[in-house]
Amino acid sequence: MHFLPEAIDQYILEHSVKEPEFLAKLNRETNQKVLQPRMLSGNYQGRILSLISKIIAPKSILEIGTYTGYSALCLAEGLTKDGILHTIDINEELYDFQQKYFQASEYKNQIKQYIGDAREIIPEIDAKFDLVFIDADKPNYPAYFDLIIGKMIPGGVILSDNVLWSGKVVEPVKPEDESTRALLKYNKMLAEDERVETVILPIRDGLTLTRVK
Ligand SMILES: C[S@@+](CC[C@H](N)C(=O)[O-])C[C@H]1O[C@@H](n2cnc3c(N)ncnc32)[C@H](O)[C@@H]1O
């Protein structure tokens, strides 16, 4: 969901750094060939992920929710020369699509793809992270935070997508709406956890910026 008027969204795009052609191609191919292309971060959020990553210059990034690889490639733009990005997705049908773009990119030797449930894979990754992007199934956001907090480098940053969930976090919750309930729990958890400092940014569907103390 976009919370700003369309004209403001457009103005912001016109005055922000442009999407690289390689990523625009990935974006187009996702829209042509893959189900639910709305899941892809897209031009504006992608440039934000890229800039945050460049500011941090991480050695080690974890992404939960690869989808077609768009956000992974944005985050990889900030990696140090010897840095590694680990990216996990449960949907094995996306592997070849991701692989095609990762291999064609300048980060082909710096991206490690994992297929499977992130709750099982995260404990197996022997690394500490200075940047994490959580963008997978919403009911597991609290579990993902619990799994990664002990693997964060002090000063590391956790970004969490869709935390405003089209505004549903401030509306009455339907009994069957597990995702909104999980996000309400997650947002409260992060706001109250003394190990981190958190602000929610009203970017696209809500992007949380969390710094680990
Ligand atoms: C919103 S999409 C990710 C979009 C991607 N980060 C981007 O911006 O281009 C969410 C992805 O999470 C994956 N996913 C869902 N549950 C998962 C789980 N338990 N473990 C790992 N990946 C999961 C889905 O298969 C889907 O591809």
Residue 197 sits in a domain of what CATH number? 3.40.50.150
Range 27-62 burial, b when 16+ CB lie within 10 A, else e: beebeeebeebebbbbbbbbbbbbebbeebebbbbb
Per-residue pLDDT, averaged over 22-31, amounts to 98
Mutation test of ligand 1: which of 33, 101, 135 has the most ligand atoms closer than 8 Å to its C-beta? 135
**From the CA of 124, how far away is ligand 1's center (Å)?**
18
In a domain, 87, yes or no: yes
Residue 3: what pLDDT? 78
Q: Which pairs with CB-CB distance under 8 Å and at least 24 residues apart come from 206-210?
A: 206/161, 206/162, 206/163, 206/164, 206/165, 206/169, 207/45, 207/48, 207/159, 207/160, 207/161, 207/163, 208/158, 208/159, 208/160, 208/163, 209/52, 209/157, 209/159, 210/157, 210/158, 210/159, 210/160
Residue 174: what pLDDT? 95
**pTM for the full predicted model:** 0.98
In a domain, 117, yes or no: yes
| Containing structural domain, residue 62 | 6-212
Mutation test of ligand 1: which of 48, 74, 91, 140 has the most ligand atoms closer than 8 Å to its C-beta? 91
In a domain, 63, yes or no: yes
Total domain count, the chain: 1
Per-residue pLDDT, averaged over 49-69, amounts to 98
In the structure, what pLDDT confidence band is assigned to residue 60 with cuts at 50, 70 and 90?
very high
Residue 4: what pLDDT? 85
In a domain, 123, yes or no: yes
